[in-house]
């Protein structure tokens, strides 16, 4: 069967709708019953980050050399956790995913490995974060939020209460990175306002070139300020190590954050 201009290699249903895996011209994509691609992976180079938004989310490396204890909200095809496992051999990662069926697809069709360093919990993200933030604090040095459904951003991860929980669970020098959908201006502005209120405007936004995604970076209160000159040098080093567009990330961060750039970066 062909759909979305490609060959459907898997189709199933759960309580939350359709899950489809489609191959087209050497690219495998995950769909939740709509044209929008939740995850993309090169069949020839499955360990590389293919999608531009996933590559841009890795801009956190400009500010942190590594993460020892990553929490990720939303699994999708699992390409980001897989990349983390492959590139940070000492790091531990926990993923919160709402749909058990998605976890099976990530392992079976997108090569997410079984690893003692990877723990996946099936639960609503807002519920999990609220409960954990009551019991604990400063558990994670990095939180990545990439939670979308067939209609767009999952509502549970757009509220101020969710961001409060994230802040509590971050170490004092921790960083939260969030994939936002920038074409819905009203929703984007609402989420940006919530983020800025919780994180005292220690925020940067990085539009994904050629896409509707915007990646938000929220820095906890004791996150050390980076110097722009050092950031540019680091970007060149990271580009060689990871073959990702880090110099472009620095340039775009400065361009798109004229009012807040100085709060996080020494110029």
- Cβ neighbours of residue 202 under 8 Å, at least 6 residues apart? 218, 219, 220, 221, 223, 260, 263, 264
Q: Decide: 215 and 179 in contact? Cβ < 8 Å.
A: yes
**Confidence (pLDDT) at 213:** 92
Closest CA to 78 of 3, 21, 36: 21
Separation CA 155–CA 140 (nearest Å): 23
**Predicted confidence (pLDDT) per residue in 172-182, tens digit:** 999 999 999 88
In sign, the C-alpha dihedral spanning 121, 125, 127, 130 is positive
Separation CA 148–CA 167 (nearest Å): 21
Q: What is the pTM of this model?
A: 0.95
Mean local confidence (pLDDT), 159-173: 95
**Confidence (pLDDT) at 187:** 86
Closest CA to 215 of 252, 173, 160: 252
**Predicted confidence (pLDDT) per residue in 16-57, tens digit:** 999 999 999 999 999 999 998 999 999 999 999 999 999 999
**Predicted confidence (pLDDT) per residue in 227-262, tens digit:** 999 999 999 999 999 999 999 999 999 999 999 999
Confidence of residue 149 (pLDDT cuts 50, 70, 90): low
CA dihedral 79, 247, 238, 205 (to 10 degrees): -50
Which residue ranges form the domains of the chain, and what is each CATH number?
Answer: 46-266 (3.40.50.150)
Confidence of residue 10 (pLDDT cuts 50, 70, 90): very high
């Amino acid at each position: 069967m062909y759909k979305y201009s490609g060959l459907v290699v898997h189709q199933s249903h759960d309580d939350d709708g359709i899950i489809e895996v489609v191959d087209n011209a050497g690219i495998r994509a995950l769909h939740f019953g709509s044209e929008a691609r939740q995850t993309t992976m090169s069949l020839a180079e499955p360990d590389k980050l293919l999608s531009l938004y996933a590559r841009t989310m890795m801009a956190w490396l400009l500010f942190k050399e590594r993460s020892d204890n990553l929490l990720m909200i939303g699994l999708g095809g699992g390409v980001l956790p897989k990349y983390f496992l492959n590139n940070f051999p000492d790091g531990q990662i926990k993923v919160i995913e709402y749909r058990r069926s998605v976890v099976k697809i990530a392992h079976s069709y997108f090569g997410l490995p079984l690893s003692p360093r990877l723990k996946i919990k099936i639960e609503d993200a807002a519920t999990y974060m609220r409960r954990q933030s009551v019991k604990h604090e400063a558990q994670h040095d990095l939180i990545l939020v990439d939670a979308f459904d067939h209609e767009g951003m999952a509502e549970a991860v757009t509220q101020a209460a969710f961001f409060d929980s994230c802040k509590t669970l971050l170490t004092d020098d921790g960083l939260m990175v969030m994939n936002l959908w920038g074409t819905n201006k009203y929703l984007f502005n609402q989420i940006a306002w919530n983020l800025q209120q919780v994180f005292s405007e220690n925020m940067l936004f990085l539009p994904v070139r050629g896409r509707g995604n915007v990646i938000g970076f929220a820095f906890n209160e004791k996150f050390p300020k980076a110097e722009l000159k050092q950031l540019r040098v680091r970007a060149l080093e990271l580009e060689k190590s990871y073959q990702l567009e880090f110099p472009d990330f620095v340039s775009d961060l400065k361009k798109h954050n004229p009012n807040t750039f100085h709060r996080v970066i020494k110029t």
